Amino acid sequence: MFIMHIALQGCLRAHDVEYGITADTGGHIRYLLELAQASARDHAVERIDIVTRAFDTDFSEGDYRQACEYLNPKVRIVRLPTPDPNYRTKEALWDQLPAFTAALIDYIDGLERAPDVLHAHYADAADVAAQVKQSRGLPFVFTAHSLGLPKRQCAARAGQDVDTETADTQALERRIGFENTALRQADLVIASSRDEAEIQYADYPDYEPGRIRVIRPASDLQVFEKAESTSEVRRMLQRFLVEPDKPALLAIARPVTRKNLASLIRAYGESPALQARANLVILAGGRQSLDALEPEIADNLREMLHLIDHYDLYGRVAYPKQHSMADVPAVYAWARERRGLFANVAFNEPFGLTLLEAAAAGLPVIATDSGGPNDIIEQCHNGVLVNPCSTNAIAEAALALFEDRERWQACQTNGREAIALFDWSRHIDYYHRLLVRMRDPQPVRRGRTVPPQRDALLACDIDGTLVGCATSVQDFNGWYAGQAHMTFGVATGRSFHSALQILEQTGIDWPDFVVSSVGAEIHRLAADGVTYCRDAQWQAHIAEGWSRQAIVDVLAEMPELVSQSPLEQREHKISYLCEANTDIAPRLQDVLADRGLAARVIHSHGRCVDVLPERASKGAAVAWLADRYAVNRERVYVAGDSGNDVEMLRALPCAIIVANYCDGLIDASGLAHAYLARASHARGVIEGVEHFQAQSHAS
């Protein structure tokens, strides 16, 4: 396989990347270089080119004009010249793109063999890749790294004036346009987090969730795991601080507006309690003179200095002027040795790499609730999410974690354990499987060459049914490989991307369909074998009589209901937690009916409450799919373990309850026909299907 990456932003080079030297020389470069290196370790990959733009600079000694630079024998950086010989920021790149695209097409035409796939990084590269795809028919994958639309929405929320005439606004609009082109034209979009896939992309005109796959970011973290503080770092920080051995609240970020370092200083400056408890340490890139920096960086640094002065934080805040890349792990370690915390309160953080570094270094985190950190905290349990616009929330969260030693310790332990999930070999394994299938849309599915006529359908709940026992999953995979006549899918309370993520994590092959959000959404695997298509007809069908906002308003008055996180809320699913162990479902149903609102309320696991359109449910969705796949209901097997499966199990004749069921499922009315398996989890599913198959053969 020959992969060609296209990446135009910042100062990209093979070694000693000058992170922070320009606003665009950030984490995406590290991501790209580590990705390429990890990718090259796979024997199936013969060659990787990273194509970028050649330019001269007056701010660096680095050679960014060299036509070809090798990272290793398989991976090279190729630099193509465009009319302007100078460095351009991402906002100013656009008029160089046509020339770059033409040069790239020439370059590809001159190669002995064309790449198998293009992988565009950042919006402007998507514009280039879309043109190359059009003219040379090469498939392309897109990774945004960071998106324009959430940035615009963020600015609007923060009440910043949007002047449509300014160059920055125009650049942002252009970028959003390119990102939408990618959604429309890319063969696959890779997102780093559910937040990116399900929320940040959702408002683009050509949003199609099934075209997006979440592949968890990875990072080489060994240096952070092993890090200890050094005497250089101690010297560098201690000269700022009157009490250098107090705990430190540490931030490491380029001083760009999105990173919101000003709010962190405000949070600290406005909280005498926090000042008494900890020092604030901010590593915000390096600088010689403020006047020589790009305007955005200079403005942010000036604001920081102004705030430090305004709150008179001298002796309590460290903000070194220079540091080397090698100092960074030691700075995390320095903070850990002082039982510190790491803070990333960006307005929006698509990725959150520094949170993984902090976790590896043993530092609990305070992280923005907007973007990738949601996923990281959910997976790692190594800190708390805060609203980045609330300085109060930031200060309170930090204080609470500083004060609770047990919690601090748990966050440290959890973070250190969980970072294993974010390693490159997992990432590459998934990424390459996607690329291989993309290249060969008629894959040998699970060992079968000719797809047989499929006349049976299996729909499994995920948590507690299909997954929950690793050896059971292995058995399931082996068993399923022999079920050539079966269409297989899942029916879950999770969202679509969350479902795909857990299946990937547990090693279950991509299902033919995904009924997600308790039946509120249906996706089917597309003919390309890689992406999914949303069932828009189902959406229209269940939308009948659904008054989302009115229901939200009515239920806001119920004190026992606590909203689940924004990620769990969907257009056709409103989810709460309710600790009160009462008959909450019928009660809510009555409350809503009294107000003339039609809805279905589902209670499960003793605490989850989902409110759905009346027509939506896992069972109805599976029945709908049985019709689409033209499978007789008698050959539809459904399996579940909990309250949110009851209705699905009731709705279909071949219903399987796995042995590890909960929510008193076995006593629920209307389930007399269900088969209660002796085995738990996926083994119970196999047992149940075999039971019904034997029954139908006997009759």
Task: Please report, as ranges, the residues that interact with ligand GLC according to CB under 6 A.
Answer: 493-494, 518, 564, 568, 575, 604, 608, 610, 644
Min dist. Cβ of residue 624 to Mg ion (A): 20
- Measure the CA–CA gap between 480 and 477, rounded to whole angstroms: 5
Among the listed ranges 215-223, 462-470, 496-504, 584-592, the one in contact with Mg ion (CB under 5 A) is: 462-470
Tokens of 579: 């600790």
Cβ-based neighbours of 689, under 8 Å, separated by 6 or more: 458, 637, 639, 654, 656
For residue 494, the partner it binds in Mg ion, ligand GLC, none, with Cβ less than 5 to 8 A by kind, is: ligand GLC
- Measure the CA–CA gap between 399 and 341, rounded to whole angstroms: 10
Tokens of 582: 């009462």
The SS3 call for residue 374 is: helix
Min dist. Cβ of residue 466 to ligand GLC (A): 14
Kindly tell me which of 168 and 583 has the beta carbon lying closer to ligand GLC. 583
Kindly tell me which of 375 and 641 has the beta carbon lying closer to Mg ion. 641
Contact 483, 475 (CB under 8 A): no
Q: 3-state DSSP: the chain helix, strand, coil percent, rounded to 5?
A: 45, 20, 40
Kindly tell me which of 541 and 607 has the beta carbon lying closer to ligand GLC. 607
Q: In terms of Cα–Cα distance, which of 132, 175, 168, 129 is closest to 150?
A: 175
Pairing of strands 636-640, 383-386: unpaired
- Measure the CA–CA gap between 58 and 542, rounded to whole angstroms: 60
For residue 604, the partner it binds in Mg ion, ligand GLC, none, with Cβ less than 5 to 8 A by kind, is: ligand GLC
Tokens of 41: 């370790």
For residue 575, the partner it binds in ligand GLC, Mg ion, none, with Cβ less than 5 to 8 A by kind, is: ligand GLC
DSSP 510-569: PPSEEEEGGGTEEEEE-TTSS-EEE-HHHHHHHHTT--HHHHHHHHTT-TT-EEPPGGG-
Min dist. Cβ of residue 518 to Mg ion (A): 11
For residue 518, the partner it binds in Mg ion, ligand GLC, none, with Cβ less than 5 to 8 A by kind, is: ligand GLC
Min dist. Cβ of residue 644 to ligand GLC (A): 4
Kindly tell me which of 263 and 501 has the beta carbon lying closer to ligand GLC. 501
637: β partners: 458, 654
For residue 461, the partner it binds in ligand GLC, Mg ion, none, with Cβ less than 5 to 8 A by kind, is: Mg ion
For residue 641, the partner it binds in Mg ion, ligand GLC, none, with Cβ less than 5 to 8 A by kind, is: Mg ion
Min dist. Cβ of residue 194 to ligand GLC (A): 10
Kindly tell me which of 181 and 604 has the beta carbon lying closer to ligand GLC. 604
Q: Looking at beta carbons, which residue is closest to ligand GLC?
A: 493
Min dist. Cβ of residue 642 to ligand GLC (A): 8
Residues 608-647 that bind Mg ion (CB under 5 A): 641-642
Min dist. Cβ of residue 511 to Mg ion (A): 15
Contact 49, 80 (CB under 8 A): no
- Measure the CA–CA gap between 651 and 615, rounded to whole angstroms: 13
**DSSP label at residue 24:** T
CB count, 10 Å around CB of 85?
A: 10
Kindly tell me which of 213 and 570 has the beta carbon lying closer to ligand GLC. 570
534: β partners: 523
Min dist. Cβ of residue 640 to Mg ion (A): 6
Contact 253, 300 (CB under 8 A): no
Min dist. Cβ of residue 572 to ligand GLC (A): 12
For residue 464, the partner it binds in ligand GLC, Mg ion, none, with Cβ less than 5 to 8 A by kind, is: Mg ion
Tokens of 608: 């989850």
Kindly tell me which of 353 and 608 has the beta carbon lying closer to ligand GLC. 608
Min dist. Cβ of residue 542 to Mg ion (A): 21
For residue 493, the partner it binds in ligand GLC, Mg ion, none, with Cβ less than 5 to 8 A by kind, is: ligand GLC
For residue 539, the partner it binds in ligand GLC, Mg ion, none, with Cβ less than 5 to 8 A by kind, is: none
Kindly tell me which of 296 and 663 has the beta carbon lying closer to ligand GLC. 663
Kindly tell me which of 14 and 668 has the beta carbon lying closer to ligand GLC. 668
Selected from 429, 463, 509, 528, the binder of Mg ion by CB under 5 A is 463
At 467, give phi and psi (nearest 5°).
Answer: -115, 160
Kindly tell me which of 247 and 493 has the beta carbon lying closer to ligand GLC. 493
For residue 88, the partner it binds in ligand GLC, Mg ion, none, with Cβ less than 5 to 8 A by kind, is: none
Kindly tell me which of 183 and 466 has the beta carbon lying closer to Mg ion. 466
DSSP 281-310: EEE----S-GGGS-HHHHHHHHHHHHHHHH
Per the listing, tokens 């949303």 go with 534
Binding track over 12-51 against Mg ion, x by CB under 5 A: ----------------------------------------
Burial 25-34 (b: 16+ CB within 10 A, else e): bbbbbebbbb
At 319, give phi and psi (nearest 5°).
Answer: -145, 70
For residue 34, the partner it binds in Mg ion, ligand GLC, none, with Cβ less than 5 to 8 A by kind, is: none
For residue 610, the partner it binds in ligand GLC, Mg ion, none, with Cβ less than 5 to 8 A by kind, is: ligand GLC
**Positive/negative CA dihedral, 554, 556, 561, 564:** positive
Kindly tell me which of 51 and 520 has the beta carbon lying closer to ligand GLC. 520
Min dist. Cβ of residue 190 to Mg ion (A): 28
For residue 196, the partner it binds in ligand GLC, Mg ion, none, with Cβ less than 5 to 8 A by kind, is: none
Cβ-based neighbours of 194, under 8 Å, separated by 6 or more: 214, 374, 375, 495, 497, 498, 501, 567
Min dist. Cβ of residue 520 to ligand GLC (A): 10
Min dist. Cβ of residue 689 to Mg ion (A): 17
Kindly tell me which of 381 and 605 has the beta carbon lying closer to Mg ion. 605
Among the listed ranges 253-261, 315-323, 454-462, 619-627, the one in contact with Mg ion (CB under 5 A) is: 454-462
Min dist. Cβ of residue 328 to Mg ion (A): 42
Kindly tell me which of 499 and 686 has the beta carbon lying closer to ligand GLC. 499
Find the angle CA(506)-CA(512)-CA(518) to the nearest 5 degrees. 75
Q: Decide: residue 220, CB within 10 A, 0-12 exposed, 13-18 middle, 19+ buried.
A: middle
**Residue 461 lies near Mg ion (rule: CB under 5 A):** yes
Min dist. Cβ of residue 416 to ligand GLC (A): 26
Q: Looking at beta carbons, which residue is closest to Mg ion?
A: 464
Kindly tell me which of 531 and 642 has the beta carbon lying closer to Mg ion. 642
Per the listing, tokens 């907007």 go with 370
The beta strands (E) that lie in 627-694 are given as 636-640, 654-657, 675-676
Calculate the CA 637 to chain-centre distance. 32
Contact 516, 499 (CB under 8 A): yes
- Cα distances (angstroms) measured from residue 457 to each of 300, 487, 632: 58, 5, 9
Selected from 20, 210, 285, 464, the binder of Mg ion by CB under 5 A is 464
List contacts with Mg ion (CB under 5 A): 461, 463-464, 641-642
